């Protein structure tokens, strides 16, 4: 789901989509690793002229004064042309120093863009290293959906970056298709725990501070680097057993009884989603609950963040537990090439909610699809799912119509072919980036009949098609 910090909400209002690009099912796979140009929704974010291989972040954070200082070592590779200059995204921090391959470059820093001109151009295809030192008081960056990124809480902090909040706390090539590994070290007062996506390597206490070191080896989009700092109690969710997925919860102690009920079935969700989607794509999975309320949960790679309002002891938000877990496959492991294709993240995560309900004794996917269809029939029908436009990329209709589009494919293929198609989709594009056209081409390979009409209606048309029916 859209990552929105405490005190901000995602608007559900309609907006006219940006253009219309019709796509047909094809016989060949169309996989995208790096788009050639800027993101059409956020042209000022990211730089397609290079890609990052690895980020090494060393941070020091003091919650009281909300003071962050950091060093980033960024290992990158130039694209097909020499790099006379390049761009990183970074919010309004004070820059201490910058080095490119150990040498001092010229740079400018304004409007959230750090433009760097190396002493001599980086050769095409060559590896290079950028070192940035920065400090200041982190705060969310402005967006059409309110502040995004680093959020100071009453006692701690969290990161909620989707889609463009990552520069609020570290310099990055902020585009979803530029995926890199991360080594993150965070030093903070010892009373606080630090939770990040990835594997905890070490935790070292010296005097009154503790340094937490995490490694996320799987390629990760910049907006999916999650972080929470707070007073947490850590619990194990289920027993993973040999070869299982370690799952942990990090929650305020007062919420432990409610959390223990609300998240009790997450291990069963993990088992089901591995059956339906393929093996869990990362080393571990964690959920963290903040002391404060959040409008919506926040997905990050290997980590999901929930507000205290999502823990009620009555499993009142269990569908969101399933939704955020499903994003580990759809959105995190298989990422989108640019933000036009966000329905691939949210449509599959919405459908995973329905599948969990169906398999856990709740309403079936067909019943939930019918409810979504009735809802959509009452809303404006002017949204093109495959390109909803920047203003509408988090519209409720992207989620509901996205889930229905996935349901329509299931109805067309039948269960055996549909779930085989989904598992193959995740396997083929593991750690990569995809487009809507890649998905339509992939799904067409599993169909006995052409799917062009289905995709034209659900993805490229705006009128609501008839309700798809399983076995119909």
DSSP 46-60: --TTEEEEEEEEEEE
Note the pLDDT tens digit of each residue in 83-129: 999 999 999 999 999 999 999 999 999 999 999 999 999 999 999 99
* Mean pLDDT over the full length of the chain: 92
Angle between the N-to-C axes of helices 396-413 and 343-359, in degrees from 0 to 180, rounded to the nearest 10: 60
How many Å apart are CA 88 and CA 170, to the nearest integer?
Answer: 10
Nearest to 408 by CA among 358, 443, 435, 359: 443
How many Å apart are CA 362 and CA 215, to the nearest integer?
Answer: 38
Could you give phi then psi for residue 300, rounded to 5 degrees? Answer: -140, 175
With H, G, I as helix, E, B as strand and everything else as coil, classify residue 94: strand
Note the pLDDT tens digit of each residue in 51-94: 999 999 999 999 999 999 999 999 999 999 999 999 999 999 99
Note the pLDDT tens digit of each residue in 139-176: 999 999 999 999 999 999 999 999 999 999 999 999 99
- Quick check: 394 pLDDT over 90? yes
How many Å apart are CA 316 and CA 127, to the nearest integer?
Answer: 49
- Residue burial 380-392, b: 16+ Cβ < 10 Å; e: rest: eeebbbbbbbbbb
- CA torsion angle 213 219 220 221 (round to 10): 140
Mean pLDDT of 29-44: 68
Percent of the chain's residues with pLDDT above 90 = 90
- Quick check: 17 pLDDT over 50? no
Angle at 220 between CA 324 and CA 134, to 5 degrees: 110
Beta strands in 231-347 (DSSP E): 233-236, 247-251, 285-289, 298-300, 303-306, 335-336
Q: Are 197 and 302 in contact (CB under 8 A)?
A: yes
What is the predicted pLDDT for the residue at 36?
62
How many Å apart are CA 222 and CA 113, to the nearest integer?
Answer: 15
What is the predicted pLDDT for the residue at 23?
34
What is the predicted pLDDT for the residue at 243?
83
- Quick check: 273 pLDDT over 80? yes
What is the predicted pLDDT for the residue at 24?
33
Q: Are 178 and 49 in contact (CB under 8 A)?
A: no
First vs last C-alpha separation in the chain: 31
What is the predicted pLDDT for the residue at 242?
85
What is the predicted pLDDT for the residue at 472?
72
DSSP state of 242: T
Task: Give the model's confidence band at 249: pLDDT under 50 very low, under 70 low, under 90 confident, else very high.
Answer: very high
With H, G, I as helix, E, B as strand and everything else as coil, classify residue 394: coil
Mean pLDDT of 327-352: 98
Record the pTM: 0.91
What is the predicted pLDDT for the residue at 259?
97
Angle at 460 between CA 459 and CA 464, to 5 degrees: 70
Nearest to 175 by CA among 347, 433, 384: 433
How many Å apart are CA 445 and CA 335, to the nearest integer?
Answer: 21
**Where is pLDDT greater, at 9 or 423?**
423
How many Å apart are CA 222 and CA 214, to the nearest integer?
Answer: 15
Cβ–Cβ contacts within 10 Å for residue 247, how many?
A: 22
**In sequence order, what are the residues at sequence separation of 6 or more whose Cβ sits closer than 8 angstroms to the Cβ of residue 377?**
464
DSSP state of 457: I
Task: Give the model's confidence band at 240: pLDDT under 50 very low, under 70 low, under 90 confident, else very high.
Answer: confident
Number of continuous H segments (helices) and E segments (strands) in the chain? 9, 21
Task: Respond yes or no on whether the N-terminal peptide bond of residue 465 is cis (omega within 30° of 0).
Answer: no
What is the predicted pLDDT for the residue at 109?
98
Q: Catalogue all structural domains in the chain, each as residue range(s) with its CATH number.
A: 50-263+283-320 (2.60.40.1730), 337-460 (1.10.390.10)
- Quick check: 1 pLDDT over 60? no
What is the predicted pLDDT for the residue at 466?
98
How many Å apart are CA 304 and CA 285, to the nearest integer?
Answer: 8
**In sequence order, what are the residues at sequence separation of 6 or more whose Cβ sits closer than 8 angstroms to the Cβ of residue 83?**
49, 50, 118, 121, 122, 128
Radius of gyration for the alpha carbons in the chain, expressed in angstroms and rounded = 22
Note the pLDDT tens digit of each residue in 183-232: 999 999 999 999 999 999 999 999 999 999 999 999 999 999 999 999 99
Q: Which two tokens stand for residue 178?
A: 């530029």
Task: Give the model's confidence band at 3: pLDDT under 50 very low, under 70 low, under 90 confident, else very high.
Answer: very low
Angle at 166 between CA 116 and CA 160, to 5 degrees: 170
């Amino acid at each position: 789901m859209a990552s929105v910090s405490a005190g901000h909400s995602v608007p559900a209002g309609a907006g006219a989509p940006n253009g219309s690009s019709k796509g047909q099912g094809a016989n060949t796979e169309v996989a995208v690793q790096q788009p050639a140009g800027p993101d059409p929704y956020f042209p000022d974010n990211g730089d397609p002229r290079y890609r990052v291989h690895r980020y090494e972040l060393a941070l020091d954070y003091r919650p009281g004064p909300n003071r962050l200082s950091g060093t980033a070592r960024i290992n990158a590779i130039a694209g097909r042309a020499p790099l006379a200059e390049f761009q990183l995204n970074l919010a309004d921090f004070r820059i201490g120093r910058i080095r490119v391959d150990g040498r001092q470059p010229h740079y400018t820093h304004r409007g959230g863009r750090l433009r760097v001109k190396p002493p001599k151009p980086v050769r095409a295809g060559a590896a290079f290293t950028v070192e940035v030192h920065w400090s200041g008081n982190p705060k969310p960056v402005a967006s059409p959906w309110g502040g995004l990124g680093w959020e100071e809480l009453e006692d701690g902090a969290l990161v909620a970056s989707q889609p463009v909040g990552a520069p609020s706390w570290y310099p990055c090539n902020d585009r979803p298709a530029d995926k890199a590994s991360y080594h993150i070290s965070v030093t903070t007062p010892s009373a606080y725990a630090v939770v990040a996506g990835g594997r905890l390597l070490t935790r070292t206490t010296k005097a009154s501070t503790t340094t937490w070191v995490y490694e996320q080896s799987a390629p990760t989009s910049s907006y999916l680097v999650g972080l929470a700092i707070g007073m947490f109690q850590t619990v194990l969710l289920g027993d993973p057993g040999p070869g299982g997925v370690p799952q942990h919860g990090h929650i305020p102690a007062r919420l432990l009884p409610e959390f223990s009920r609300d998240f009790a079935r997450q291990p069963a969700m993990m088992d089901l989603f591995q059956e339906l989607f393929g093996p869990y794509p990362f080393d571990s999975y964690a959920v963290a609950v903040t002391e404060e309320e959040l409008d919506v949960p926040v997905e990050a790679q290997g980590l999901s963040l929930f507000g205290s309002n999502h823990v009620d002891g009555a499993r009142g938000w269990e569908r969101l537990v399933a939704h955020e877990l499903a994003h580990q496959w759809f959105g995190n492991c298989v990422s989108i090439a640019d933000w036009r294709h966000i329905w691939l993240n949210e449509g599959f995560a919405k459908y995973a909610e329905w599948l969990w309900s169906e398999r856990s004794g709740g309403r079936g996917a067909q019943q939930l699809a019918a409810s979504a269809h009735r809802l959509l029939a009452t809303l404006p029908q002017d949204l093109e799912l495959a390109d909803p436009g920047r203003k509408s990329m988090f519209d409720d209709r992207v989620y509901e119509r996205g889930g229905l589009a996935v349901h329509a494919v299931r109805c067309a293929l039948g269960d055996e072919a549909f779930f085989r198609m989904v598992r193959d989709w995740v396997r083929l594009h593991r750690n990569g980036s995809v487009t809507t056209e890649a998905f339509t081409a992939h799904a067409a390979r599993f169909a006995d009949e052409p799917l062009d009409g289905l995709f034209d209606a659900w993805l490229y048309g705006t009128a609501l098609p008839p309700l798809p029916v399983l076995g119909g």
